[in-house]
Structure formats: structure tokens, C-alpha cells
Structure 1
Amino acid sequence: MAIHLLTGDDESILRSKAHDLVAQLVGDGDRSLMVDEFDDDEYELRDAVDAAQTMPFLTERRVVVARQIGRFTTDELTPLLGYLDNPLDSTELVLVAGGGRLAKKLTDTVKATGGHLTSTSPPNRPKDRQTWVRVEAEEHGVRLDGAAAVRIAEQIGEDAGRLEGILAVIRSTYGEGVKISAAEVEPFLGEGGGVPPWDFTDAIDAGQTGKALTLMGRMIHGGERHPLQIMAILHSHYGKLARLDGADARSEHDAA
């Protein structure tokens, strides 16, 4: 049996991946007998550890899920850290981030004890994000052509949690395994999600005024950034450029 730690910034993606992992661990077993979940804001970590230390009843193994594990301090993690040093062979323990910043001690201990660490955060680079969209689509039974993956990645922006819903609608509309084009996904994309600040400043630097204004609108509306935050981004960007004036920087390495 194993320890699984799922991390990520998007709550909806994190929950979806945790759900998929638990379903995989349960397999054809009886979920009602196998799974113990701890998810409310007031559960005690000791209760989850006690469940993990309990032998299975009428099943070969138990699956114990502890969510919002980031809300516990290093001191509060003591019972869990003790369990990780000597886990029960018949328990699959699934730890799900959220509720605050994960204690480094927990991450280090999971690694040291041979646990599985999985980041659910989508990649930031545009090409990597497009690949991620296609992989996620395939897992949902949706085949996207290259242009469709690009269009979806552009439209959802930082709001990656919307992808699952979009894919579900596409699958229900066109069926499973049908190759989908950009034109066919367009009606289901909705409003553009937020975009990272560097896309905005890159467009400005490239002299792409129209694109920069569009991205600024998405940062304010889709990304819910206050206009003063936009001003701060611009102030920081141009401040860095001003410091480079006369520095004879010829590469990104020199600029850094």
C-alpha cells in the first residue's frame, strides 16, 4: 500500500484528481466499506490517522482520504508524521492539499518514506498548457485537434478549473472519440479567463496594443484583478526596464 500527496492551487482540479485517484484505488471494491473521508473544516488529524491505522473489515484494504491538509501546522502534523514512518500495509492514505500552505516537513517526509507526490497544477508555458489540455481531453474521451487545444488553452487562461466542465459539454454534444476542431469547441468556451501578467507585458513590449488591451480586460474581469493591481504590474515591469537602461544587457541571463 502507499501514501499519496496531491498538491495544486486550483481547488476544482485538486478535487477532481483526488476523486479519480480514490476511484482507481477502490477499483471494483465496495466504496462504502473501503473509504473513510475527512473533509470538513473541523476534523482532527488524529481521527484520520486512527482510521489509517485501523485494519480493513470485509475488504483487502482501506482508503483513507484527508483533505485540506494545508490547514495543519507542523506541530499539529505530529501524529501523521509518526504514522508515515510506520504506515499500515493495508491502508492507502490519500492526503489532499488545500486550506493553507503545506508544511515542508510533510512534503519532505512523504518523499523520504517513498510516497507518491502529484502536482495537479497545469503548466504555465503556452505550449505545455496546450499539451496538458489535449491530455486532459483524452482522459475525458474527447479528441481535440491542435487548433482546438490551442483555442481552449487561450480562452480559459488561468482559470484552468473550467476545463473539466467544457470537456464534459463537448463530449455530451459530439460523443466520445470524435475528433473536434476549433470551430466546434468555440460555442462552449464562454468568457475568457484571467491571464498571467507576463502575457500582458509581453504584448506591450511587442507593440501589440490591441492584444495588450484585450489581455488587460481579461485580467480585470476574468482574473478579478483590481485596476490598482494592473498599475502595480506596470510599475514593476517598467521599473525593471529602467534599471536595465545603460546596463549593456544582451541576454535574459545578463538581465537577471
Structure 2
Amino acid sequence: MEYYQGLINSLARGQVAPVYLFYGEEEYLKEKAVAKFKEHLLPQAADFNLDVLDGEETELTTVVSLAENLPFMAERRLVIVKNAPWFKGKAKGSADQSSGEDKSAGKEGPLLNYLNQPAPTTCLIFVTGDSVDRRKKLFKAVESAGKAIDFKALKANEMAAWVTNQVKARGKKIDAMAVRALVEANGKLGLLNLANEVEKLITYVGEAKDISLTDVQQVGVTNLEQNIFTVVDEAVSGNTAQAITGIKELLALKEQPVKILAMLARQFRLAIQVEALVRTGCPEREVAGKLGLHDFVVRKALAQARKSSTAKLEWALERLAAMDAEIKKGQQDFLPAIANTLIRLSQK
């Protein structure tokens, strides 16, 4: 979250670049950053000095024209372009990528020219959720004239700190175990989802000053993945009855057997992959990056692998694949089949 705090600190010091590109997957922080710029740059006369555009429906010539306008009774103008499509790279394997760059350069020409000498009285912000191609001339031009900021998904500890601070700002305290449960269940969906869950918790506890793990369990949305984590945890710990209860709860929530099997297989596969990487010398802190996962997902998978053995995990994975085929052929019913598998796993 350092990238966001650094941006806000610079804004508070009055250090405003003429152009920004906000990209990456953390949408909540992007929205907050844009709101902070509006608040700081346009305390008055906002209606006259603010333009908000949709990049999918706007020509770059229009963007440049608005950026070149002078502010009215204020020091700066603010031009915000959402869904900016001009920074995306070509798909891998697409024919003649260099030619594609040359063709797009014609359309991007007005903006490239503007960025050579941007208006000092305008702050131009491009916002995109798409991945960007840092090799493109337009991206490099924005970096040269201003700042391109990657709004990366936060790590689990950063999300936990964020939740704690949000609750504190509302005059309440939240238990560390409650924070962990909230982040594990909802963190993969980003801060916007966590913000909604925090708001629900605040409303739920009412006048109470403390938020407990029980409160989170009562109010929070426990997603399929978190339930699968729990089932596998119980299974590798030898708590077969609890694991089967977890499966029944998923069925009660109308989750489809084929989806449950797929998620169980994914979790066992992750545990095997994580354990193999660590066993071959990969530092634990680098495993998440190699597999493209959140830190807490890797920690959970590694803990599950260490409670079991590679042989047991591989057996479970093979059995789930066989069960999937048997169920689809009508040779077995899901619940007795998965219960039998969990029992046999505990005996391995």
C-alpha cells in the first residue's frame, strides 16, 4: 500500500504532476486516489474545472483539447479519463505487433505531442483496469511527463492493517483472529469487497466497541474457497467428521458437486505444488509470486501439506479425478462417494 500512501503524501505537499496513469487491479484505492485529487485540486469552482470522460467513447483529440483549456477562477483544471484503452499491449502471438504499434501511434499522436509539453495548469489522470504495456511509447511518455502508478493487489498483512485502521477510525476495535478470518474469506476480491464487509460488521455490532471472530462468522460472507480451505484442513488433520460436515454445509448452500470436486482438487494440487517448490529450495516468500497467488493462500496450502504427506495428497487428487468420472457416469452418488474418500484419506 506504500504506492498509494506515497501518492497521497505528495498530493498533500502540493506536488502534483501534469499527468498520471493509474493502472492495476486494486480498484478501491484507484477510486480513493481520484477522489483525493478532486478534493485537493478543486475545493471551489469544481463544476467549471472538472471533466470526467469515458476513454472507450472519447477520441484522444478531445482529451487533449480539454487538457489544454485554462482553468476558470482557480489554479488548476482536472481531467479524468476512465477506462483508458490506449495503454494496453497487443495479445501474445498477434500478427505483426510492431506494425500494430505504428498504426496506433497515429491515433496517439495528439497525446504524445501534448505530453512533450503538458499544460502546467491541468492535471490529467488516466485510469484503467487493464494490464498495460510498459514498452509502448505512450506509457513511456506518461512516465516521462508525470507518473504511472501500478495499483497492485495488497498483500494479506496490508489488507489486515487496512481493516484494523478502518475499524479504528469508526471508534471500534477488532480482534486479530477476526481480521484474519475476514481477510482470508474476502481478501481475494480486493478492498472494495472488504470495505463492504467492514460496513456490515459496524452496523451489526451497533453500539458495541469490540468486533469478535464470532461477529465475522455471523455476518461475513464466507465464500466457497474459504469453505474448501476448511474442509481440506479438517481432512489432512484427521478430523473426518468435521470435513464431511463441511461438505454437507456446501451442499446446503446449493453449491454444485462438480464445483466442489473441482475446488477440492485445486486445493490439494496447490498443496502439492507449494510443498514441492519449498522442498526444492524456493524461499517461502517467493512461492506466492511464482504461482501468482496471495501470500495467505500459499501459507494455508503449505500448512496443509505439512500436516499430511505428498503421497496422501497425490492419492487424494487421483481419487477426486476418478470420483468425478464415476459420478458423471452415474456410477456413484456424490455425498457417499466423497465421504468414503475422506474416510480412506484419514487412514492413509
Smaller-chain TM-score bracket: 0.5 to 0.7
Which amino acid counterpart does residue 97 of structure 1 have in structure 2? T
- Residue 24 of structure 2 contacts residue 152 of structure 2 at CA under 8 Å; is this kept in 1? yes
The structure with the largest alpha-carbon Rg is 2
Choose the corresponding residue for 1:169, options 166, 189, 200: 200
| 1:100-129 C-alpha deviation (Å, 9 max, x unpaired) | 332323443333334252515222xx3343
Separation of aligned partners in 2, 1:212 and 1:48: 57
Judging changes above 3 Å, is the alpha-carbon distance between structure 1 residues 252 and 103 closer, same or farther for their aligned structure 2 residues?
closer
Q: Tell me the equivalent position of 1:24.
A: 39
Separation of aligned partners in 2, 1:252 and 1:176: 48
The answer on 1:131 being equivalent to 2:146 is no
Which amino acid counterpart does residue 90 of structure 1 have in structure 2? T
Q: Secondary structure at the match of 1:69?
A: coil
Report 1:16-165 matches (<5 A): 16-39=31-54, 41-70=56-85, 75=104, 76-98=107-129, 100-104=130-134, 105=136, 106-115=138-147, 117-123=149-155, 126-135=156-165, 137=167, 143-160=173-190, 161-165=192-196
Which amino acid counterpart does residue 185 of structure 2 have in structure 1? Q
| 1:40-78 C-alpha deviation (Å, 9 max, x unpaired) | 632222212221111111222111101112455562444
User: Percent same amino acid at aligned positions?
Assistant: 23
- Residue 54 of structure 2 contacts residue 84 of structure 2 at CA under 8 Å; is this kept in 1? no
Report the more deviating stretch, 29-38 or 68-77: 68-77
Which amino acid counterpart does residue 207 of structure 1 have in structure 2? V
Separation of aligned partners in 1, 2:140 and 2:261: 38
- Residue 37 of structure 1 contacts residue 65 of structure 1 at CA under 8 Å; is this kept in 2? yes
How far off its partner does 1:140 sit?
Answer: 7.0
Report the more deviating stretch, 101-110 or 159-168: 101-110
CA RMSD of aligned residues (A): 4.6
- TM-score, reference length from structure 1: 0.67
Which residues of structure 2 form unaligned runs of 5+? 1-15, 89-100, 291-348
The answer on 1:189 being equivalent to 2:220 is yes
Q: Secondary structure at the match of 2:236?
A: coil
Aligned length: 240
Which amino acid counterpart does residue 60 of structure 1 have in structure 2? E
- TM-score, reference length from structure 2: 0.52
Separation of aligned partners in 1, 2:146 and 2:52: 23
How far off its partner does 1:230 sit?
Answer: 4.9
Separation of aligned partners in 1, 2:126 and 2:87: 12
